[in-house]
Structure formats: C-alpha cells, structure tokens
Amino acid sequence: MRTVISLRVGMDDLELKHEAMPTVAANELVELLLSQERLLHSDEQPFTKEEILDAFAQYAETHPKGNRPTDPDGEQIISHVRRFLNIDSEKHEPLLLGPDPTVRLKYNALRHAISILAQIPEDAEGEISDVTRVLEDKQEGIFGLMFQRENQFRFRLRYHTPEALKSSTERVVAATASRPANELNPAIKASATTAIAGVRDALEVTFDEVLMKTPAGEIAQRGEVHTVGSRSGLAWYVAFRSPQYVLLWLSLILMLIDLALETFAPQIELINLHFTTWLGGTLERLTTAAFTAYFFAVLLDYMKLRARFSGATSAFIDWETG
C-alpha cells in the first residue's frame, strides 16, 4: 500500500535571507518541520537527489515499463540495490549487512525509494525528477520520498500494513500543517537555515485530497485534511466528525419526532395500552440513549486526538473508502 500527500506552501508568508530563492526557503522550512517530528534525517541524508535518480535510472534500464517489479522485498530490487551499493553478500536481511547502521539505512532507504519511484503512474513520471529527500518514520519503520516543484510538495509513503501507513501519513500531515509565526520563528532562528529568516504572521499550507492506493494503483481510501488551531477547536472538530455527527443527527431526529408526536398525535388506546404515551416514552428513552452515545463518542475521540495534539496547531485526516 502507499499514500500520496500533496500540499502547497504560501510563499508570501516567508521572510527570506538576503537574496535567497523563495523555493529554497520553502524547502528549508518543510524540512525543518519534518525534522522536528523525526521524519527526516536532519544531519546526513542516506542519499542525495542525484544518487536516488541515478539508482532508479539504472534500475529502469534493466526493467522497462510494463515489466517493472515494485516490491522492495523482491529479489529484483534487492539485487539491484546490492549492486548499486557494492554489497557482495547473497543474503539480503538488513541485520546481516554488518554492524554499520549507515549501511543498513542506505540499504533500506534505497530499496524503498526505487519501489516508490517504480510505482509512480506513467502520466506522473515527470514528477520523478522533482524528488529531493528520503523520509523515514522510525516510529512506524516506514520510508517515503519528498518531491518539490516551486511551492508544491508531494510525499509518497509505502508500507504493507494500512493502519501503520495511515499513522505515518497523519504524522507527515500534522508536521507540515499551517501554524502561527510565534510557533515557527523560534525554531527557524535556532536552526542553521541559509534562505529562510522567518514567517510573517502565519504559515498557510493548503492540502489536496490524501490518497491511499493499492499496489495495482487503485484508490483504496481518500482522506480530507482538517487543520485545528486550538484545543477548543479540536473539541469542535471531533463533535462534528464521523461517526459522531451520525449520532447527533439521530438524536435530533428522534427528538423532533417525539415533539411532533406530543404536539399533534391523538391519544390512541390498544387493549388498555395508551399507545401514544408508550410511543412517546420510548422515543424519549431512545433520544437519551443516542445523546449519551454521542457524548461518550466525542469524549473518547477527543482524548485520543488530544494525545497527538502538538503545539498550538495540528492537523488530522478523515478517511473514507475510495
């Protein structure tokens, strides 16, 4: 499985150093945000852009379109990575590559990078040259690639478990979400940036629809990104997201039916049973049960998301089947 995250950074929000290029400043800012969430190697990248493109170009020469394996654990990609890294051992388990963690990192990063590039559809192959960095979510053990064209960034992550992939995707979204200048500028001033001096009022980031795709390229799920600027905003967000809003609408509908019954319905008796009164009482109990379920659903969702709420701003993804 793989996910695709696309976003645009508001260039007018950035304060530049000297005569720096805005695109370079945007790149520095996004990389800084990812590094803070430990999604990017801030010291030394396992590969440069040129090395990634060179490795994939060599792979594409021996594996033409239509016959290009994309499994990072498959022998075709593993053997190519070993040749590119000059690893002689026939065994491909990362733990058998030696004690050097740098070698293991390069091995894992490159095989996932080639897999991701090989899965890019033909109508988007022009994007391959926009690759800039390798991402690694150490928390989930997931690798990805970052692409940039002007102020547009795209992240492609891949993993075999959808739930872990969702978690990593949400971490990338939360790390790169819009946020006020007072949350960003201290980190910018403390970092060794060469192009960005700070953010004026607030960083505005616009997300496109997040896509989760199968290995065959079919859309499995779609995600809508919601940016939340405060804990009260988080409470408002969870109060009206699915499935809470279903319970809320159910409660309101039951309450309206009960009100209409009391106001307009005549008293009906069936075999010594005051049917109208019984129906009204039943509706009241159902309404109370629905409101109670809604309240606890909001509370549990809020407690779960609050643990992932970092700083003054965060972002969350609402997923639905594609």
pLDDT (tens digit, 9 = 90+) per residue, 99-144?
577 888 888 899 999 999 999 988 888 999 999 999 999 888 899 9
Share of the chain above pLDDT 90, in %: 42
Per-residue pLDDT tens over the stretch 164-204: 999 999 999 999 999 899 989 999 999 888 999 999 999 99
More confident: 4 or 105? 4
Per DSSP bridges, beta strands 205-207 and 210-213 are: unpaired
pLDDT level of residue 95 (50, 70, 90 thresholds): very low
Peptide bond into 243 cis (omega under 30): yes
Contacts for 7-11: CB closer than 8 Å, 24+ residues apart:
7/152, 7/153, 7/154, 7/176, 7/205, 7/206, 7/207, 7/208, 8/151, 8/152, 8/153, 8/205, 8/206, 9/151, 9/153, 9/203, 9/204, 9/205, 10/151, 10/203, 10/204, 10/205, 10/206, 11/151
